[in-house]
Copies of this chain bind each other. A is one copy, B any other.
Amino acid sequence: MPKLYWEDFAPGSVAEYGPRQVTREEIIAFAAEFDPQSFHLDEDAARSSMFGGLAASGWHSCSLLMRIIADGFVIDSSSMGSPGVDEVKWRAPVRPADRLRVRATVLESRPSHSRREMGLVKFLFEMFNQADVAVMSLRMTSMFGRRMPAASQAAPAHADAQ
């Protein structure tokens, strides 16, 4: 049974998850599979790039954030996935051996109009390295099952028409 339902994500609430360390080998392996640009793959090429050294693919950063929040709370929740992301900002390079943590802020929460058993939560996720540098921020909406579906709540019979 999930521990966290839609009702548990109160607007304004803040939580931190992680840290998770990323290795040079993981950065290179991700790049080789998904983003084989030289500054993600090769230390020498990266040194002469605008990154000044090996830097993780931005999609690797997103994937690491997902793993940190999955371990942090998503796996223990009634997660029903996500319709998408409003914004990703890659603010600073993620480097080999970085220890990453994620601050999750609940920006908004609303019940689903179309599905009574579901609610939507808009999060701001900010990822920091061990030096407290913000390496990425990401605003996204997630869908969660409700502990108490709308139909079971005390409400006037015409509530759906409102």
Residues of A bordering B, CB below 8 Å: 30, 33-37, 39, 49-51, 57-59, 62-64, 66-67, 70, 74-75, 79-90
The 5 lowest CB-CB distance pairs between A and B, nearest first, are A85-B88, A34-B63, A84-B89, A59-B63, A34-B67
B36 touches A80 (CB 8 A): no
Contact of A75 among B34, B37, B50, B57 (CB under 8 A): B37
Report how far A81 CA is from B81 CA in the complex, Å: 28
In terms of DSSP, what is the predominant structure of the interface of chain A?
A: mixed
Report how far A90 CA is from B81 CA in the complex, Å: 10
Q: Which residue of B lies closest to A49 (CB)?
A: B80
Hey, which chain B residues are within 8 Å of A80, CB to CB? 49-50
B90 touches A84 (CB 8 A): yes
* CB pairs A–B below 8 angstroms (5 shown): A35-B63, A58-B84, A81-B90, A84-B90, A88-B88
Contact of A64 among B34, B87, B89 (CB under 8 A): B34
- How many whole Å from A123's CB to the nearest CB in chain B? 14
Hey, which chain B residues are within 8 Å of A58, CB to CB? 81-82, 84
A86 touches B83 (CB 8 A): no
